[in-house]
Structures are given as C-alpha cells and as structure tokens.
Amino acid sequence: MILRRFAVTTASIGSLFFAALAGYSQVRLEIRTVNTQTLRTQQILKGERLGTPTVIAGELRIPPGEGRLPAVVLLHGSGGLGSAQQQWAADLNAIGIAVFLLDSFSARGITSTVNDQTQLDHLAMMVDAYRALGLLTQHPRIDPNRIAVMGWSKGALAAVYASMERFRRSYAPPNIEFQAHIGLFTPCNTRYTDEQKTTGKPIRLFHGTADDYVAIGPCREYVRRLKMVGVDIDLTEYSGAHHSYDTPRPNGEPLQFPQGSTTRNCSMIEAEDGVVLNAATHKPFSYSDACVERGPHIGYDEAATRETKRAVTAFLIARFGLGSTSPAPGR
C-alpha cells in the first residue's frame, strides 16, 4: 500500500553527492507500509510465526533510470533512523541502487531503545526485514534477485543473522532470499543454534576496535567459527574507531549515553525451547544481569567512514553486477 509518492531534488534530500553526478539529480520517493508481526526472541527461536500483527512503514528511494534495479533494505540501530542512514541512502542511490529505509520503531510507539532494549527484541527487526523483502520483490522497479540487507548495531544483528537458514525458512518469502548481509558494529555475543548453517550468501561486517557499546571480540570469534565451515564472511576492523563511527558529530568528540545499556561484557547462548542463557550463570539472560553495564559512547571517525563506504559500495557493485550486462550470480 502506498501512503504517498513523489519526487524530490538533491536539495530536499540534502545530499551534495548527487550534485556531482549527471543523471542523479532526482530520486523518486515512495512511502510504503509493511505488514509484519511483533515477536519475542524466544518465539523467533522456536520458529513461531504468529505474534502481534503490526503495520510499520519505510521510505523507498529509487534512483533515476530504466528497468529493474538492485535494492538494499536498511535497518537502523537503537536510536532509530538518523543522518547516517540518510547519507548511506544517498550514496547507494548514486551508484544506481534503490534503498528501503525501514522504520521498525515509530509504528510501535518507540523513539529509542538506547536506555531500554526490551522495548523491541533485536531479532524482531529481522522479521521486519524479511517482510520488507517480500514487499520489494513485488515492486515493478526492483529486481527480486538482487536485494541485500544492511544494518547498524541493533539492526545489524537482524541483518547479519537473517543469513541463517533456519530463519530464512521460517520468515522469508517463498523461494526468495537476501543476496548479501552487511552489518556495521554488529552484536555477535549470542551464539545461536545452527548459526553456521547459512543461506550461502556473503556476509560482511565492519567494526571499530574502540567500540565500548558493542564489543568487537565476539565478532572475531563468530567470523572464525563460520569461516571454519566455509561461509563467505569477512570482518573489517578500524583501529581506534568508536561505535556509530559513521555518524558525524558537531564537535567531533565522542558522546556518552550515561543510561545507555550495553551487553559488551555479556556472552549468551541459545538453549532448549528458544531460551537464551547467560553463558556465565547458565540462567536465562536478563537486562538486569550483572554483566549488563551503562554509559557506552559513540564517536565519529571520518577515515573509517570513508573506507567503509568504499568497501561496501565496491562489494555491492560486484555483487549486483553493476556496470555489466547481467546481474551477479545468485550465490
């Protein structure tokens, strides 16, 4: 269902990038609703499909051109959609990729989960992403065989673990899957059953070594485990970069969230019946556990941002076969 549909110029998007690229001075916007379910982590891990019916929305940005285009579903972090996603959308549009900025918060009455992550479970955003995938496959301008998913922090967990085959079977549209999974500052500290059994599509992680919001160590271990079974996965590290390093700040100094909760020192594991245990206590994990701390930081890093955008755009250009006469192979 389309709520509104119109075209905007580069000035209204606020992207200077477009001004330098002939043929990309105008982008079509479509506000689309997405019928989804709000599920708790245990329900998702048990493969349940019926939760609270929810209608969320997203902004589809289609660059000018003809024919079917590749697309990327963008999943925001705990602060909701922000300037980082806006700029990434502009940059991806500029290389001929449509983007769908999915808002998992507003329709659920959530502004931010920074101080209270229990408002929406991380994996619930994965269900949203798969519902968005189903919507995009029906769009006349989108190539259903060239859709990727990219997320930040809370949304990165959803984007990356959507690669698991068990989740694809439960929540993806029939015979359709994401062609790539990209995560920035991904929480990798929960070990899910059958995590190594993926769809076979490539996974790319990007993380700062100074991140005190989402620890990088568990991602190193996650990548190592998946590489051992032949999964196409890579982690790119940026020395000294903080959490949300791609979000510019006026004074450039790291910003602390005194009441922001972080599980950087927690390790969790999926047990029977979809229960997630604290690996240290072997009891069901709770945000009241001693390992949960407060006061993490975010901080902008221009060099890390530039290199991440270079790497991601090069990866997607190759993956989607942009600049060639045929799309990239399905693997």
Q: What is the CATH number of the domain that holds 180?
A: 3.40.50.1820
User: Rounded to two decimals, what is the model's pTM?
Assistant: 0.89
Asked if the structure places residue 132 within a domain, the reply is yes
The span from the CA of 126 to the CA of 275, in Å, is: 18
Beta strands in the chain (DSSP E): 2-9, 26-38, 52-62, 69-75, 98-103, 142-152, 181-184, 190-191, 203-208, 233-238, 255-256, 261-262, 268-270, 276-278, 293-294, 297-298
Name residue 91's amino acid: D
Q: What Cα–Cα distance (Å) separates residue 256 from each residue in 243, 251, 285, 296?
A: 11, 13, 25, 6
Compute how many other C-beta atoms are within 10 angstroms of the C-beta atom of residue 258.
Answer: 8
In a domain, 287, yes or no: no
Q: Is residue 283 part of a domain?
A: no
Domain count, the chain: 1
282 domain-assigned: no
**Domain assignment of residue 162, yes or no:** yes
Tens digits of pLDDT across the chain (331 residues): 333 332 333 333 333 343 334 344 589 999 999 999 999 999 999 999 999 999 999 999 999 988 999 999 999 999 999 999 999 999 999 999 999 999 999 999 999 999 999 999 999 999 999 999 999 999 999 999 999 999 999 999 999 999 999 999 999 999 999 999 999 999 999 999 999 999 999 999 999 999 999 999 999 999 999 999 999 999 999 999 999 999 998 877 899 999 999 999 999 999 999 999 999 999 999 999 999 999 999 999 999 999 999 999 999 999 999 974 333 433 3
Is position 276 within any domain? no
Q: Which residue has the tokens 């996650």?
A: 222
Domain holding 69, by residue range, is: 2-258+300-320
Distance CA 196, CA 203 (A): 12
